[in-house]
């Protein structure tokens, strides 16, 4: 219990926590292979300019493989500890980085700060927030690959967001103090998803894939500024019996 409380404090304080061994080696290997199978089948939605190939349909295509990741028991204390029953799966996306990969500095929930200001105008409104759980299927490490955060980037509003001036926003992110994580296969990074972050391969030929579950605490209106589209309502509350 105390350990969980400490981790919840850390998530609030730092904006992220690394959960080591969130998935067993067997499950990690099984899912790694299924993600590669998805690529063989050509199920990707696309491959973007920074080297990220993405898949939005895997939870629907192979629920027996992927649904255990939603509200996974090793993460439940943190998701539930932060959001309770209102914790809602917003979207489920897998990624493969087939070649060189240096992600753009970005936030998954770009609209957070403007929605926060909006919410402050109304008596019952609360600022919408979201959490990512990103599962890794290969070992990252110095010389291999990493995930970088802007230190305390969930607590300060970055400049150049509204309207987005991407070069200036990215230059600001680059100039801040950073924290670098090296998640290993089976680890999961849980983070508040308006913190600016950037994944990267340091070795172009490493195999690298991950699965991101986006959760949201509050219902968010269609068109809110978030990198993912919502899955809808039915069956999206993992902690409600
Ligand atoms: O490690 C990565 O490639 C980046 C992960 C990411 O952008 C995310 O989890 O939202």
Residue 98 sits in a domain whose CATH number is: 2.60.120.620
Report pLDDT for 2.
84
Q: Is residue 4 part of a domain?
A: no
Query: Residue 174 is part of which domain span?
Result: 16-216
Is the pLDDT assigned to residue 202 strictly greater than 90?
yes
pLDDT tens track for 148-160 = 999 999 999 999 9
- How far, in whole angstroms, is CA 64 from its chain's centroid? 21
**Closest protein CA for atom 9 of ligand 1:** 134
Helix (H) or strand (E) holding 88: strand 88-96
Cβ 213 under 6 angstroms from ligand 1: no
- CA-wise closest residue to 238 among 75, 116, 26: 75
Backbone angles phi, psi at 86, to 5 degrees: -75, -5
Residue 226 lies in a domain: no
29 domain-assigned: yes
Give the total number of structural domains in the chain: 1
Does a structural domain hold residue 234? no
Mean pLDDT, rounded, for 54-61:
98
The sheet carrying 46-47 orders its strands as 16-19, 188-192, 130-136, 209-216, 88-96, 53-55, 46-47
Per the CB < 8 A criterion, the answer to whether 105 and 174 are in contact is yes
Q: Which atom of ligand 1 is nearest to the CA of 193?
A: 10
Asked whether residue 98 is domain-assigned, the answer is: yes
The answer to whether residue 241 scores a pLDDT higher than 80 is no
Q: Give the Å distances, CA to CA, from 212 to 45, 66, 77, 136, 158.
A: 15, 11, 18, 9, 23
Whether residue 133 has its Cβ less than 6 Å from ligand 1: no
Separation of CA 228 and ligand 1 centre (Å): 13
Distances (CA, A) of 101 to 84, 95, 147, 221: 35, 11, 12, 32
Instruction: Tell me the per-residue pLDDT of 66-75, one tens digit each, with 9 for 90 and over.
Output: 999 999 999 9
Q: Which of 108, 199, 213 to mutate to test the pocket of ligand 1 (most atoms within 8 A of CB)?
A: 199
Q: Specify the pLDDT at position 1.
A: 73
Question: For residue 184, how far is its CA from the centre of ligand 1 (angstroms)?
Answer: 14
Q: Which atom of ligand 1 is nearest to the CA of 191?
A: 9
Residue 86 has pLDDT above 90, yes or no: yes
Tokens 């070795």: give the residue.
203
Is position 11 within any domain?
A: no
pLDDT confidence tier of residue 19, bands split at 50, 70 and 90 = very high
**pLDDT by residue (tens digit) across 90-118?**
999 999 999 999 999 999 999 999 999 99
Residue 148 CA to ligand 1 centre (angstroms): 9
Whether residue 97 lies inside any domain: the answer is: yes
| Alpha carbon distance 87, 81 (integer Å) | 10
For the entire predicted model, the pTM comes to 0.97
In a domain, 223, yes or no: no
């Amino acid at each position: 219990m105390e350990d969980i409380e400490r981790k919840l404090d850390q998530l609030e304080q730092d904006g992220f926590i690394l959960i080591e061994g969130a998935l067993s080696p067997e499950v990690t290997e099984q899912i790694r292979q299924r993600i590669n199978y998805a690529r063989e089948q050509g199920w990707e939605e696309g491959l973007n300019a920074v080297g990220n190939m993405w898949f939005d349909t895997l939870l629907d295509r192979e629920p027996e493989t992927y649904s255990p990741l939603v509200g996974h028991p090793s993460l439940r204390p943190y998701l539930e500890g932060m959001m309770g029953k209102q914790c809602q799966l917003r979207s489920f996306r897998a990624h493969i980085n087939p070649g060189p990969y240096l992600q753009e500095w970005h936030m998954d929930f770009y609209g957070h700060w403007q929605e926060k200001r909006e919410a402050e105008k109304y008596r019952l409104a609360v600022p919408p927030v979201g959490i990512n759980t990103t599962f890794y299927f290969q070992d990252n490490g110095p010389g291999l690959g990493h995930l970088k955060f802007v230190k305390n980037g969930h607590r300060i509003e970055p400049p150049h967001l509204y309207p987005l001036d991407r070069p200036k926003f990215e230059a600001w992110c680059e100039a801040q103090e950073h924290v670098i994580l090296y998640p290993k296969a089976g680890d999961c990074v849980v983070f508040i998803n308006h913190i600016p972050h950037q994944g990267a391969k340091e070795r172009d030929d490493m195999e690298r894939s991950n699965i991101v579950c986006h959760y949201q605490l509050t219902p968010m209106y269609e068109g809110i500024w978030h990198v993912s589209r919502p899955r809808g309502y039915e069956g999206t509350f993992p902690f409600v019996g």
